[in-house]
């Protein structure tokens, strides 16, 4: 194939485009079990092709839109003491680990300027800084049976990704925004950031990462209310 297929076109062709499955943040009546039954096989079939594409183009620092990233909260902003914060990585791994914020900040810092896209219809170009998730997972040594990654947050929010998306080179666990320490409202001490997923997939205040060999009935807070599970761009 002479021309690289974009992720968005591939999702549209496969019937996975978020626009075709989501009506709005409050309007979908499609049940999560129906979504899983109908679209999960297509999700699995397209993941390898999606993630074999080149990295998503990034922006220059001059393109950052500092006032456009809206603050969306699932509940109330949790109060987390950075000195006591620990990120747990467990489940289908050979070496469960627990990392402090200091531990995370001693690992190689990756910075990227990407577009954050919300399913509600707005977007913002943001610079995120943090650790590539695949580097953290490598420390925990995933088992060959691992296929999915669950993210649990301090406010009770929960999400799940396929392992291929989680290990994409542009998926970060971020502790910086626009070259400054991440604020509590934006997910400090640690949040997901990636240009390959819609905003509702990018959990804030992440405290636990669990690898599993199957997708559990509870797939994600919004997915369990009818949102598309894959949530890709």
Cβ atoms of 152 and 210 within 8 Å: the answer is yes
Residue 105: its pLDDT value, please?
98
Tell me what pLDDT residue 76 has. 85
Query: How high is the pLDDT of residue 40?
Result: 52
pLDDT band per the 50, 70, 90 thresholds, residue 233: confident
Domain ranges of the chain: 7-225
Is the pLDDT assigned to residue 168 strictly greater than 90? yes
Better pLDDT: 113 or 7: 113
Given this model, what pLDDT does residue 164 score? Answer: 92
Task: Find the mean pLDDT for residues 179-208.
Answer: 97
Give all strands of the β-sheet with 97-100 in edge-to-edge order: 97-100, 86-91, 206-212, 148-153, 158-162
Identify the pLDDT of residue 53: 53
Give 142-161 pLDDT, tens digit per residue. 999 999 999 999 999 999 99
Pick 52 or 207 by higher pLDDT. Answer: 207
pLDDT at 108: 97
Average pLDDT, the chain: 83
- Give the CATH architecture of domain 7-225: Alpha-Beta Complex (3.90)
Give pLDDT tens digits for 39-96: 454 555 455 455 545 689 999 999 999 999 998 766 789 999 999 999 999 999 999 9
Tens of pLDDT, residues 9-32 = 433 333 333 333 333 333 333 333
Instruction: Tell me how far apart the alpha carbons of residues 180 and 126 are, in angstroms, rounded to a whole number.
Output: 12
């Amino acid at each position: 194939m002479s021309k690289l297929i974009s992720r968005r076109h591939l999702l549209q062709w496969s019937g996975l485009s978020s626009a075709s499955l989501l009506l709005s943040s409050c309007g979908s009546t499609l049940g999560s079990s129906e979504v899983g039954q109908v679209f999960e096989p297509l999700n699995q079939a397209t993941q390898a092709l999606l993630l074999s594409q080149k990295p998503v183009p990034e922006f220059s620092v001059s393109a950052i839109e500092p006032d456009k990233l809206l603050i969306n909260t699932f509940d109330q902003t949790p109060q987390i003491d950075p000195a006591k914060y620990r990120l747990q990585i467990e489940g289908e791994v050979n070496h469960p680990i627990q990392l402090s914020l200091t531990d995370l900040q001693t690992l190689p810092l990756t910075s990227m300027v990407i577009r954050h896209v919300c399913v509600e219809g707005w977007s913002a170009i943001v610079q995120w800084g943090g650790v590539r998730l695949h580097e953290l997972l490598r420390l925990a040594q995933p088992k060959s049976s691992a296929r999915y990654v669950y993210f649990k947050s301090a406010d009770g929010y929960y999400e799940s990704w396929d392992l291929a998306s989680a290990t994409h080179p542009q998926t970060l666990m971020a502790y910086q925004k626009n070259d400054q320490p991440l604020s509590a409202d934006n997910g400090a001490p640690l949040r997901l950031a990636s240009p390959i997923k819609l905003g509702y997939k990018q959990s804030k205040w992440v405290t636990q990462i669990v690898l599993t060999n199957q997708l559990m009935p509870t797939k994600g807070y919004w997915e369990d209310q009818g949102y598309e599970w894959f949530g890709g761009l």
